[in-house]
Structure 1
């Protein structure tokens, strides 16, 4: 599946989404993964990927805050770049919030399963 830019905005070019190499069928559940967050044969584990995504989100929010501050102080004159930084930060936060909500929903479903 190919993901192209929408209205000239590409999440890959903006650094919001980092493309990963396609995994082989069954590789995600194989014994090579190891513990959460550990570096397996297929790359970083789930915990490491989540931590990296949170770090990227924090960096995007810091960049948006700094660019807005620079615009307010007159150091930055390009309003479009400031707004793009704000939108990247907002989209990243919304995505993280939705992932959290889905994870909590899945946890609740598992906890409510009859044994």
Structure 2
């Protein structure tokens, strides 16, 4: 009986050591910007692209910008960024609804 208790103790100790190693590994790999910081940065980038496209279009209309292709590419980049943001929002909302509808 004491051998079984001793083995059980050793298994528990090994399990605790493995858990500590896993926690340490996760702690060192989890450095960097958080999810909310990445979202905020992405939204700022999309807003910046939209502002740049608007400014280039206005400059073209006023005759300050001569390169129409530059204006069009800027507008397309802005449009793609907005579409990506919109699709990410829709996917996140759909995932949230799925989680909320899960039975407990």
Scaled to the shorter chain, the TM-score interval is 0.7 to 0.9
2: CA distance, partners of 1:94 / 1:43: 27
1:3 aligned partner = none
How large is the Cα RMSD of the aligned pairs? 1.8
Which ranges of structure 2 fall in alignment gaps of 5 or more residues? Answer: 1-21
Q: How many residues align?
A: 80
Other structure's SS at 2:48 match = helix
Structure 1 or 2, whichever has the larger Rg, is: 2
Which ranges of structure 1 fall in alignment gaps of 5 or more residues? Answer: 1-25, 34-39
Deviation digits for residues 82-104 of structure 1 (CA, Å, limit 9, x no counterpart): 00000000000000000000000
1:93 aligned partner = 82
Shift of 1:41: 4.5
TM-score (norm 1): 0.66
2: CA distance, partners of 1:62 / 1:42: 32
TM-score (norm 2): 0.73
Which contiguous aligned blocks of 4+ residues in structure 1 show a shift greater than 4 angstroms? none
Residue 47 of structure 1 is aligned with which of 13, 25, 36?
Answer: 36
Shift of 1:42: 2.3
1:5 aligned partner = none
Deviation digits for residues 28-83 of structure 1 (CA, Å, limit 9, x no counterpart): xx4x39xxxxxx85210000000000000010000000000000000000000000
